[in-house]
Amino acid sequence: MPLGLRSLFYAMLWCGLILGGAQLSRADEPQPPLHASLNEQVMRIPVEAQPGVTLETTLMHPDGAGPFPLAIINHGASGASFGNRGKRYHLTNAAFYFLSRGYAVAMPMMRGFSTSSGELYQFGCDFAATGIAYARDIRAVIEYLVMIRASKPDA
């Protein structure tokens, strides 16, 4: 596995562990209210030219012109996912958390989910191969969003 992909995979795994742990709190602890504008936009982002795979991606940002730091939030999958393409994943506490703190949020739907094209990756029990394959899709989403931002005259 190339070093760059391995680093990306482990960075994404680490972020997932941090975000997953951030949601663990005691029920009796007061939680600050999360106030955020959505400014929601749904787009199809190309991640693979052949056979033409695009991911349905929800992009949200706070009010204002930006630029904003970007948080990528990805959903999970299980064996049951192979028969259920699901609905667009977008209104989550994690998204509101980042929006309320001035981040833009991108939430790509994985291959084969909602209206994203392509099929789920199937590598059996090779979880590293699965993680790397999906990490490539997320990298393509990030590169596309960076390209869009760079093409704006006020960037």
pLDDT in tens, 53-67: 899 999 999 888 878
Q: Is residue 84 left, alpha or beta, with left meaning phi > 0 and alpha meaning psi from -120 to 50?
A: beta
Question: Does 7 or 102 have the greater pLDDT score?
Answer: 102
Position 139 pLDDT exceeds 70: yes
Position 6 pLDDT exceeds 50: yes
Q: Are strands 104-108 and 53-60 parallel, antiparallel or unpaired?
A: antiparallel
Position 37 pLDDT exceeds 70: no
Distances (CA, A) of 29 to 21, 24, 32, 44, 112: 16, 11, 10, 39, 38
Rg (CA), the chain: 16
Distances (CA, A) of 1 to 6, 10, 16, 123, 128: 6, 12, 21, 15, 10
Pick from 58, 68, 61, 46: nearest CA to 143: 46
Domain boundaries, the chain: 3-22+36-151
User: Quick one: pLDDT at residue 116?
Assistant: 85
Assign 31 a pLDDT band (cuts: 50, 70, 90): very low
Assign 77 a pLDDT band (cuts: 50, 70, 90): low
**Average pLDDT over all residues of the chain:** 75
